[in-house]
Amino acid sequence: MAGKDIDAADWIDQDLLTRDEAGERLDEEIVRVRARLRDLESGPGDDPAVASSVAMVSRRLAAMESIRNSL
């Protein structure tokens, strides 16, 4: 059977399963990042290192949410 092409329908099913799994994993990571962001935001607001971390985590969260919305 080496060299046999896979039917297009099989590729579509595989793609959907992969998207579902990716979405579930992304949902889990979004929950973790939101918690991290809450922790950072509840810390000292005048610390430049904390402010920088808040900005980085906020950008990461926004990117993950954007990707999740596109799945």
Q: Is the pTM of this model over 0.85?
A: no
Q: Would you list the domain boundaries of the chain?
A: 23-70
8-32 confidence digits (pLDDT tens):
655 555 666 688 888 999 999 999 9
Query: What pLDDT is stored for residue 9 in this prediction?
Result: 59
Distance CA 56, CA 60 (A): 6
The structure tokens listed for 62 are: 């926004």
Distance CA 41, CA 7 (A): 51
24-62 confidence digits (pLDDT tens):
999 999 999 999 999 999 987 788 999 999 999 999 999
Q: Does residue 65 carry a pLDDT above 90?
A: yes
